[in-house]
Structure 1
Amino acid sequence: MTEPARSRPRYDEGCLAAHALNMIGDRWALLVVRELMLVPKRFQMIRAGLPGVTAAVLTQRLAQLQAAGVVGHDPALGAYGLTASGQGLMPVLQALCRWGSDHPGHDPRRFISPTALMISMTAMVDQGLPGPVRAGFRSGREGFVQTLTRGALQVAADPDPQAPFVIEGSGNALAQAVYGPLPLDRVPGVTLQGDATAAQAYLARFRLR
């Protein structure tokens, strides 16, 4: 059953934070934005990154985000993508990652989408270390290239990432490689192409608080 459309704002306040939550505060809305942050996607690919959402709820959230000017839809490609307004939510997602890492209860054994991991890495990188460094990641049909310079980590979607090393696995396996205690060659479900020493040194730049 789909949720009823609202005829009035969820939060009937003049607060700017409440105004923002009226547009992106519904359940799944920010996670839909997360899945579209790096590349436009078709409906089923968005849903693959959000295994707990129903098709009906995802349809409604996409419609709400389009009405809010956060998401656009290309009928020719059948793909959804973020507008400039939607792209502006990247710092919000990064801040939520950092805020969440300070609080107990996080269970990394739960599903982690590849895009979610890439965004968390931009938030949890040690920004004091020098670069530039390029790293590649691949997970199923998705690929990414990261470029680390002092103070910033940029991520670009690339189905065929080219870098000195490319690490491949599911979102959860890659998260274990990035944040877990095991060295890369002992992480189950992960494969590596390229420079193993450089890859291990790169992963050492990421820490959960």
Structure 2
Amino acid sequence: MTEPRQSPRIRYDEGCLAAHALNVVGDRWALLVARELMLTPKRFQAIRRGLPGVTAAVLTQRLGQLAEAGVVAQGAGLYALTDSGRGLMPVLQAMCRWGALHPGHDPRRFISPTALIISMTAMIRPTPAHAVAGLVMGDEAFTLHLTGDGILRPRAGADPTAGFVLSGNGNDLARAVYGPAPLSDLARNGTIGLTGDAAAAQDFVDLFGLR
């Protein structure tokens, strides 16, 4: 018999729906744990690599709380988001857009691969362009599909149909995507790797802006 799901831990004793949401995902690190699982299931240590400031004890606690709330499921050593957890994607995108409006953002601080990809889905300018882009960051690879409706659709894994592939760490690729330097210069000085159609890659990154 299935055990009844526990109610979220009460942090805010209010009937407000926003307060209720914060009772579910408002603890420190909880929403960022969901961020790291948004594009693919991960093992415990892989989640920690995307959250270098979290301790193992806190991450264990947050995963347990999110599992109790029905946001995360565990199986075969992997943690994955449930349908409820995947429903947080628009929340993360809205937070990216909101955060870009406020001063104090320091792009020199650690940016995880998943964090960069989610920010790109939020910060792309409206466009009828089509593209299939590959991004490789260490042992993580992503394919980004832009299909003419202005929505960037990411998925984990490489795709041989990608017209170009950018490689580097999260911070260097964030510089390539959002910074003013041409990709050719960044590739030439070794900041990033670039294979495939360089002109198409430049056209692609020109679609993104922080403000």
Common fold: TM-score over 0.5: yes
The CA deviation at 1:25 is 0.2
The CA deviation at 1:83 is 0.1
Structure 1 segments, 4+ long, off by >6 Å, are none
Give CA-to-partner distance per residue, 1:119-170, whole Å, 9 cap, x none: 000000012x113211110001100000112221100000x33301000000
Which position in structure 1 is the counterpart of 2:156? 157
Structure 1 residue runs of 5 or longer lacking an equivalent are: 1-6
Which position in structure 2 is the counterpart of 1:207? 209
Give CA-to-partner distance per residue, 1:22-68, whole Å, 9 cap, x none: 00000000000000000000000000000000000000000000000
Which position in structure 1 is the counterpart of 2:5? none
Which position in structure 2 is the counterpart of 1:32? 33
TM-score of the two chains, using structure 1 as the length reference: 0.93
- SS of the aligned residue for 1:60 comes to helix
Written as runs of structure 1 = structure 2, the 5 A alignment for 1:169-180 is 169-180=168-179
Which position in structure 2 is the counterpart of 1:108? 107
Written as runs of structure 1 = structure 2, the 5 A alignment for 1:179-198 is 179-187=178-186, 188-198=190-200
Which position in structure 2 is the counterpart of 1:138? 136
Aligned CA distance change for structure 1 residues 8 and 46 (closer, same or farther; 3 Å): closer
Structure 2 residue runs of 5 or longer lacking an equivalent are: 1-7
Which position in structure 2 is the counterpart of 1:4? none
TM-score of the two chains, using structure 2 as the length reference: 0.92
> Which amino acid in structure 1 is aligned with residue 128 of structure 2?
P
Retained in 2: the 8 A contact 1:170–1:189? no
Give CA-to-partner distance per residue, 1:81-104, whole Å, 9 cap, x none: 000000000000000000000000
Q: Percent identity?
A: 65
Which position in structure 2 is the counterpart of 1:65? 66
> Which amino acid in structure 2 is aligned with residue 197 of structure 1?
A
- SS of the aligned residue for 2:97 comes to helix
The CA deviation at 1:189 is 2.3
Aligned residues: 199
Retained in 1: the 8 A contact 2:9–2:24? no
The separation in 2 between residues aligned to 1:131 and 1:154, in whole angstroms, is 13
